């Protein structure tokens, strides 16, 4: 039987009996963690075990651990990293190696806690107008640099046994609004988008997982990309991405409508799985019922994604930290 076309979360630090029964019934593809779920290493590992026991398989468990402002794990659970753009700029010519080492260390932290996926690399191209919620999470302002660093980030994850999720496909860098609260509109014509915004995703189209962008490309479709068959077709055919496509959080305010309707629309547009975060159990049930099970094409992509997850390669932590510190003149972490 195919798996459920969802990625869901938990309300607390362990699963309730109702959550366990629900997850066993709907069989989500995977799960996502937030700060409220994270207290101690033993507790996090136990929660990850809860998820996998509920569905009866070694499902992926993901997190947002970009570093900087967006990192769910902080000291003492994990290192406190500089913002990605600051990290890349301070490393200069050594940025690709520095980003690889950064995310190889992050992958090591995650795997030690039972987490085997991360919502990175983020290869949105920074623009002068990029909203502040996104700008310092970017890797640079030209697509070639962004693609190079995105590849290094992805490889750091894969070498550490963690599945990378490239985001926000096909490109969020021109957004002047925060899609957590508003729906951004991008006015540029296709040629400019194709040369700049879409280019890093084309270079990384072999990655196993991708997350959509909640914004409208006015020249292409009046519907938000996550819900647009035209935009999902563009991602598949023109960008060439054949990995598993997950939505960005379907409950973000950029999208309007009932959660069930939005979930059904995303699946009908061509997304493989619906990501739903920070809701009640009733809301999670609504999303899961609307998304249903993966179709056969989505299930095949899910199987390929899981097959890309491997045991971590050996890592000398002290040597990796020393090399990273040398590349960045010691300016690697944030205090605290």
248 is catalytic: yes
Alpha carbon distance 115, 24 (integer Å): 19
The three-class DSSP label of residue 262 is helix
Alpha carbon distance 247, 263 (integer Å): 9
Task: Give DSSP secondary structure letters for 42-55.
Answer: HHHHHHHHHHHHHH
Q: In this structure, how many other beta carbons lie within 10 angstroms of the beta carbon of residue 99?
A: 29
180, 206, 218, 303: the active-site residue:
180
User: Could you tell me which residues come within 8 angstroms of residue 185 by beta carbon, excluding any fewer than 6 positions away?
Assistant: 215, 216, 218
Evaluate whether 32 touches 9 at the Cβ level (below 8 Å): yes
* Among candidate residues 336, 334, 335, the one with its CA nearest the CA of residue 86: 334
Six token digits for residue 51: 């998820």
116, 248, 249, 272: the active-site residue:
248
Cis peptide before 121 (omega within 30 of 0): yes
In the chain the first and final C-alpha atoms are separated, in Å, by 47
Burial environment of residue 237 by CB neighbours within 10 A (0 to 12, 13 to 18, 19 or more) = exposed
Alpha carbon distance 307, 243 (integer Å): 12
Find the angle CA(96)-CA(97)-CA(103) to the nearest 5 degrees. Answer: 90
* Among candidate residues 11, 133, 124, 113, the one with its CA nearest the CA of residue 62: 113
168 is catalytic: no
Active site residues: 180, 248
């Amino acid at each position: 039987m195919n798996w459920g076309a969802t990625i869901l979360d938990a309300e607390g630090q362990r699963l309730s009996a109702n959550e366990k029964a629900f997850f066993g019934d709907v069989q989500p593809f995977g799960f996502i963690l937030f700060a409220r779920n994270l207290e101690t290493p033993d507790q996090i590992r136990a929660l990850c075990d809860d998820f996998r026991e509920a569905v009866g398989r070694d499902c992926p468990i993901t997190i947002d651990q970009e570093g900087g402002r967006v990192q769910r794990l902080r000291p003492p659970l994990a290192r406190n990293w500089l913002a990605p753009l600051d990290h890349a700029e301070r490393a200069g010519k050594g940025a690709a190696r520095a980003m690889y080492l950064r995310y190889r260390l992050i992958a090591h932290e995650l795997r030690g806690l039972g987490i085997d996926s991360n919502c990175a690399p983020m290869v949105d191209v920074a623009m002068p107008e990029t909203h502040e919620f996104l700008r310092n999470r970017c890797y640079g302002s030209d697509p070639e640099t962004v693609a190079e660093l995105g590849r290094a980030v992805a490889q750091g994850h894969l070498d550490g046994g963690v599945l990378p999720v490239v985001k926000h496909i096909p490109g969020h860098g021109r957004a002047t609004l925060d899609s957590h609260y508003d729906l951004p509109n991008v006015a540029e014509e296709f040629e400019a988008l194709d040369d700049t915004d879409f280019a890093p995703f084309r270079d990384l189209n072999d990655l196993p997982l991708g997350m959509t962008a909640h914004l409208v490309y006015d020249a292409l479709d009046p519907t938000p990309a996550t819900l647009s068959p035209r935009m999902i077709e563009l991602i598949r055919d023109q960008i060439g991405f054949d990995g598993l496509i997950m939505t960005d959080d379907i409950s973000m305010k950029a999208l309007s409508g009932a959660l069930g309707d939005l979930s059904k629309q995303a699946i009908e547009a061509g997304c493989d799985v619906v990501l739903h975060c920070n809701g009640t159990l009733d809301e999670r049930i609504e999303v899961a019922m609307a998304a249903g099970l993966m179709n056969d094409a989505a299930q095949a992509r899910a199987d390929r994604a899981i097959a890309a997850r491997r045991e971590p390669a050996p890592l000398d932590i002290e040597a990796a930290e020393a090399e990273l510190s040398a590349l960045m003149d010691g300016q690697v972490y944030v205090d605290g």
